Amino acid sequence: MCVPKSQGGMGFRDIHCFNLAMLAKQAWRLLENPDSLCATILRAKYFPDGDLLNAKLKKGSSFTWQSIMAGVNTLKHGYIWRVGNGQKIDIWEDAWIPNCANRKVITPKGQHLLSKVSDLIDPSSNRWDEDLIRQTLWPVDLQWVLDIPLPQFDMLDFVAWSHTKSG
């Protein structure tokens, strides 16, 4: 399989990376189709809270689940949360800042009681609460957050791929 196509092979450069990419694709399918039979069965046994991205590998897990978790860990290197209403996104832990290298806020949590991105949105105007953000985040994070457009209608947060098809 790793033999070049010109020599009759399939042209894969690294079977291990290819396998991880296929497992990440399966994890992506579980995220995109949470009501599928496969997702329903795996959720019942391994992530009953419905949060696949924060699921933990339990002792005695099936080989299938161990493999999918390897895919989830691979997926974590490139996913990003897209802000809708902000209720699913953890300000401090989740990847949701598009212009930042690690896609997370740099500001340490410290003693802040705020936890979800929805806490940073003014519910009456559906705009960023700039005063609260200025009090909470460092200036670099402040600008990145304010550059994120908020939807004009009630939309749920969703996971997206942060890279282009080629990268």
In tens, the pLDDT along 15-24 reads 888 899 899 9
Pair of tokens at residue 79? 């996913």
The lowest-confidence range among 29-43, 88-102, 150-164 is 150-164
Let me know whether 84 and 60 are in one domain: no
- Between CA 123 and CA 13 the distance in angstroms is 50
pLDDT, average across residues 152-163: 84
Which long-range contacts link 6-12 to residues 24+ away (Cβ below 8 Å)? none
Q: Indicate whether 71 and 95 sit together in one domain.
A: no
Out of 75, 100, 128, a domain closes at 75
Residues 60, 87 share a domain: no
Mean pLDDT, the chain, integer: 89
Give residue 28's domain range: 5-75
148 belongs to a structural domain? yes
Q: Is the pLDDT of residue 120 over 60?
A: yes
Residue 167, domain member (yes or no): no
Helix ranges (H only) for 6-163 are 15-32, 37-46, 63-75, 130-136, 139-146
Q: Give the angle 78-82-86 at the CA atoms, nearest 5°.
A: 130
Could you say which of 29, 56, 75 is where a domain stops? 75
In this structure, are 71 and 84 located in the same domain?
Answer: no
Same domain, 25 and 54: yes
Q: What is the count of structural domains for the chain?
A: 2
CB count in 10 Å sphere of residue 21: 13
One domain, residues 107 and 71: no
- 46 occurs within a structural domain: yes
Specify if 166 maps to a domain.
no
Residue 74 has pLDDT above 60, yes or no: yes
pLDDT of 166 reads 57
Same domain for 113 and 156? yes
Output the pLDDT for position 165: 63
* Residue 86 and residue 70 in one domain: no
